[in-house]
Amino acid sequence: MSDVLARLEALRGDDLPTHGGRTLAYVYDSGLADADAIGRTALASFGATNGLDPTAFPSLTAMERDLVAFARPLFHAPEASVGTVTSGGTESVLLAVQTARDAHPEIGRPAMVVPTSAHGAFHKAAHYFGVEPVAVDVDPVTMRAVPEAMTAAMDAHAGRVVLVAASTPSYAHGVIDPVGPIAAAAAERGVRCHVDACIGGWVLPWSDVAQPWDFAVPGVTSLSADLHKYAYTPKGVSLLLHRDAALRRPQFFASADWPGYTMLNATMQSTRSGGPLAAAWAVTQHIGAEGYRTLVATTLDATRALAEAVRSTEHLRLAAEPDASLLAVACDDALDVFTLSDEMGERGWFVQPQMAFRGLPATLHLTVCAATAGGVDDFVVALRDSVAAAVAAGPVQVAPELRAAAAQLDPATLDDAAFDGLLQLAGLGGEGGAVAVPKRMAPVNALLDAAPPRLREALLIAFLDRLTR
């Protein structure tokens, strides 16, 4: 047994660290060892339980009710509100979109209006559920959704719009959309309005946000908040709240069309482990509202310190003024963010590159969490050194012929061999048609950044296809 566990541990050798506060995306570290231990224990002890049938394991239903009860006052959800525990932010968003669509079976070609800054999960939902995404450009200075433009888009697609969304905050730029006017315009038109608080949901209730952003805003019909982010619970838990039970009804699915048990599901999963739910219950009970208040204060202090470090570093700027605990860092022509990301990686800090998009610059994404606070001074040193190294290296040059060729390519016309060649060209080629991830990603990222979105998607899908063969 110990041999297997040792091998398991060895497999993690190349993984990003989940703890220590130096991985500024993907993972969230409270820095509270006891909260982690409680979460791990609960995860393990409920790993075999099954939420398939809500009557078979009443403990799971009880814990789900408790989590929803914890969340409701945080989001000013009214007495009639209801909630569901899902497996993550994407599932919460998928269900919000599916529910909005299925509330209007009479609409033949449903559409939803989202800011361009909305999380990719909305595009996934659009793809899965046949809802046309109408993406409305954000303000290029504040990076916030523009309510007048969102309203105009609703009117341009009048009679077809089943959902409007706002982010609090957006993942890419960390800014809070003006929920008030967006929800008001939606309500006037009888359209649902979803607040995507997947990342901000466990931060904003303990910070001083200038504008109401949750169910306190009339017209907000649903809200998602991920516990596996800033509630610091193990992965696999998000909440989807609806203003009332009638709004949620189309989310439920039952099937008696087979000879087995009558299927009855509140979410997309059928068998669903009670492990993440139990872990989330245990960690949130352990940390408690006052614990989160302290964690948020620590996190926001660290965010302000990192933001100040960015502002005072030559060649860098914030792509937007942060409204919460996320930063987007842009740079001038002396360097590129992809090289900067590699340099930070060399110094033990993971920062996530984000590509240029519709006139918005390429940036580095920083999700700051409580455990990052202790490393702020180290971060600042690493950032200054990394900028100096990236300036010395200069931005990655993508050959103009390559850039032009990329703009011309229609991914729909490319076959497997063409993708093999392109992946080689992009620096992702490995032995005998396989793929490999190079240590320095800047050349790959710069090339992907130059590719139009459809080609970038196709290349990455080809990459994943080969990586998982």
Ligand X SMILES: *Cc1c(COP(=O)(O)O)cnc(C)c1O
The site for ligand X (CB under 6 A) is made up of 88-90, 93, 119, 121, 167, 171, 196, 198-199, 226, 238
CB of 213 to ligand X, least distance (A): 13
User: Shortest CA distance to 125 belongs to which of 157, 87, 163?
Assistant: 163
CB of 208 to ligand X, least distance (A): 20
Task: Answer yes or no: are the C-beta atoms of 187 and 213 closer than 8 Å.
Answer: no
Q: Which is nearer to ligand X, 326 or 362 (CB)?
A: 326
Q: Which is nearer to ligand X, 196 or 449 (CB)?
A: 196
The two tokens of residue 353 are 């590159």
* Look-up of token digits 């504008």: 211
Find the helix packing angle between 376-393 and 337-346, rounded to 10°: 130
Q: Which is nearer to ligand X, 72 or 119 (CB)?
A: 119
Q: Which residue is nearest to ligand X (CB)?
A: 89
Query: How is 155-191 classified by DSSP, letter by letter?
Result: HHTTTTEEEEEEESS-TTT-----HHHHHHHHHHTT-
* Look-up of token digits 């989330």: 280
User: Shortest CA distance to 444 belongs to which of 430, 466, 423, 468?
Assistant: 423
Q: Which is nearer to ligand X, 226 or 343 (CB)?
A: 226
CB of 278 to ligand X, least distance (A): 18
Specify the 3-state DSSP secondary structure of 366.
strand
Rounded CA-CA distance 233/249 in Å is: 28
The two tokens of residue 170 are 């957006």
CB of 423 to ligand X, least distance (A): 25
CB of 368 to ligand X, least distance (A): 13
The two tokens of residue 18 are 């989940």
CB of 88 to ligand X, least distance (A): 3
Q: Which is nearer to ligand X, 169 or 427 (CB)?
A: 169
Bridge partners for 273 per DSSP: 50
Bridge partners for 328 per DSSP: 365
Q: Which is nearer to ligand X, 93 or 355 (CB)?
A: 93
Q: Which is nearer to ligand X, 39 or 88 (CB)?
A: 88
CB of 124 to ligand X, least distance (A): 9
CB of 196 to ligand X, least distance (A): 5
Q: Which is nearer to ligand X, 93 or 383 (CB)?
A: 93
CB of 168 to ligand X, least distance (A): 8
Q: Which is nearer to ligand X, 391 or 460 (CB)?
A: 460
